[in-house]
Chains A and B, each alone.
Chain A
Amino acid sequence: MKHPIGHEAIETKGWFATHKYLLLRRFCQLGILALFVIGPLLDIWIIKGNLSSSLLLDTVPMTDPFVALQAFAAGHLLESSAIIGAMLITGFYFLLGGRVFCSWVCPVNMISDAAQWLRRKLKIRTSTKLSRKTRFWVLAMTLVLPIYLGTMAWELINPVSMFHRGVIFGMGAGWVILVGIFLFDLLLVEQGWCGHICPQGAFYNLVGRFSPIKVTADKREQCDKCMDCFAVCPEPQVLKMPLFGENKGFGPLITSADCTNCARCIDICSKDVFKITTILPEKAEV
């Protein structure tokens, strides 16, 4: 009989080590959210604004480069503080890996992780086939529409900014879209939102292409093919070649920019196959 996912890792490493990075990520996601919320709630102003644009300690401006790009496409040249902010954030994710945003910062990640978790618990296997490249088309759309409309159309419904803004400034009817994403991920397409559609993830994917921080299947020869990492990874296609492609000449480094550096694979592996490394990849594959 097949054990439930993570069973082996918990047996060998203990529950805590099997959830180490997961806990760290939740701490990071909720912590960032909390820093924003204590401003208006408790009058403790460490950071102002929201993920779209913010001001840290009244000095460091930070602006989401994706939204800055939408403004640019809509025909507005931002003031210098927003431009500096966008460059800071771009640099940050360029170094750390773009989709670190998705797994360590973005609040929607908690929704899609929850849906994936429930999917496993309820053994929902059905999933409509949708290309994972779709998100790049959506990204193109979000940057082309403003050119024609002169308004940031995507920001009308962008669940990422809506969720974050909603927690700080009031959600209103925004939860409708969030529930929509949850149900979409749960019932229609596995990892549907973050893995197939979200243009923000696609954008950060491009930003983080050449990041030096990657996960590597360092000790892949120890792998016993339990496939637990495939079950928990939000982008399992990235694991295939680094794990099993040795005889085809693939190195152990997870080079795909789809990888979110969530490090869930490190957690779940009972054989300690994976680790985080900082060598420069030769070239990221799409």
Chain B
Amino acid sequence: MSSSKPYQARKMSRRQLITDASRGICGVGLLATGLAGYAKQSQSLAAQCLRPPGALIEEDFLAACVRCGLCVEACPYDTLKLGKLFEPVTTGTPYFDANIIPCEMCEDIPCQEACPTGAISPELESINDAQMGLAVLLDQETCLNTQGLRCDICHRVCPLIDEAITLEVQRNTRTGHHAMFIPTVHSDKCTGCGKCEHACPLPEAAIKVLPREIAKGELGKHYRWGWIEKDKAGGSLIDEVLDLPDRVPEGG
């Protein structure tokens, strides 16, 4: 009965109604524009912010994570934090700063277990396959090992020692007769847990874990490595010896 009755009691001119409504709609349009701009801006991850293990790639993560903090509360090491307004990570989403508390790589992955939305993908089966980020020996001028010392700390704390980080022997050209043991990260194994960055004894770590989007280069799609193609084909793909004309310097 209520809805069939004409609504007369409220005297409001059509003009007033239209003005009010259009004010509302314009306001919403303005809000939408601003919000879209802010959203676009915060769609990429800052260099010091890493996602929990198994997190979808950033774009999908932002569509999936409802910012509930269940992963944060599940983490036994207080590694994860929720981003706050104006922090360099999308408001309310979970992240960690390896320099403050790294991920301890729990075998049962409680953060993944807790996530109700799939923003932390249930597909990650072993924590050793996590790709939270990638460690990079960013500063080869201050790393103690690159000066010929045997700090080795990042190597030793790495949960995947000798897989994710190896020490590669190089000649120490400064002394001429010593070796240098250069910490070298392998991207197929590094989980990005951040223990190396956290443990580096320098006041500002020489090795840092970056989101993989930032750390990794990308080969052109058409690039092929000749030596790999050769192995695959079981022999060279081009005629063995190209006979190029010898060039001898004039008057040589």
A residues sitting closer than 8 Å to B (CB atoms) are 39-40, 48-50, 52-55, 61, 63-64, 67-68, 71, 74-79, 81-82, 85, 129-131, 133-134, 137-138, 141, 145-146, 148-157, 161-162, 165-166, 168-174, 176-177, 196, 240-241, 244-245, 248-251, 255, 282-283, 285
Contacts and interface: CB of A to CB of B under 8 A. Distances in A.
A57 B234 CA distance: 61
A137 B28 contact: yes
Contact of B2 (A55, A68, A162, A255): A255
Given A49-B70, A169-B82, A71 B24 contact: no
6 contacts: A49-B68, A68-B66, A131-B24, A145-B32, A241-B9, A250-B1
Contacts of A283: 2-3
Contacts of B69: 49-50, 165, 168-169
B1 A76 contact: no
B36 A52 contact: no
Nearest to B16: A129
A176 B31 contact: no
A74 B82 CA distance: 20
A174 B67 CA distance: 14
Nearest to A51: B68
B180 interface: no
Contacts of B70: 48-49, 53-55
A172 B93 CA distance: 13
Contacts of A61: 116
Nearest to B118: A79
Interface of B: 1-3, 5, 8-10, 16-17, 19-21, 23-25, 27-28, 31-32, 35-36, 38-40, 42-43, 59-60, 62-64, 66-70, 72-74, 81-82, 84-87, 90-92, 114-119, 122
Contact of B73 (A40, A74, A154, A155): A40
Q: Which 4 A-B pairs give the minimum distances between C-beta atoms? A: A172-B84, A134-B24, A53-B68, A74-B63
Contacts of A255: 2
Given A71-B63, A76-B60, A248-B8, A48 B73 contact: yes
B42 A156 contact: yes
Contacts of B2: 241, 250-251, 255, 282-283, 285
Nearest to A244: B9
Nearest to A138: B28
Contacts of A77: 118
A139 B129 CA distance: 40
Contacts of A52: 66-68, 92
A135 B181 CA distance: 63
Contacts of B24: 130-131, 133-134, 137, 196
B57 to A, nearest CB: 12
Given A50-B68, A82-B117, A174 B28 contact: no
B64 A71 contact: yes
Q: Which of B21, B31, B69, B74 has the most CB of A within 10 A?
A: B69
Given A79-B116, A245-B5, 4 more contacts: A50-B67, A71-B64, A82-B116, A169-B72
Contact of A82 (B10, B19, B20, B66): B66
A267 to B, nearest CB: 25
B29 to A, nearest CB: 8
A74 B65 CA distance: 11
Nearest to B82: A169
Contact of B39 (A129, A153, A166): A153
A157 B35 contact: yes
Contacts of B115: 79
B138 to A, nearest CB: 28
A63 B66 contact: yes
B116 A78 contact: yes
A134 B124 CA distance: 43
Contacts of B10: 240
A63 B87 contact: no
B9 A248 contact: yes
Contact of B85 (A64, A138, A173): A173
Contacts of B25: 134, 137
Contacts of B82: 165, 169-170
A282 B40 CA distance: 45
A82 B116 CA distance: 5
A134 B17 CA distance: 12
Given A169-B82, A240-B9, A162 B92 contact: yes
B38 A78 contact: no
Contacts of B42: 156
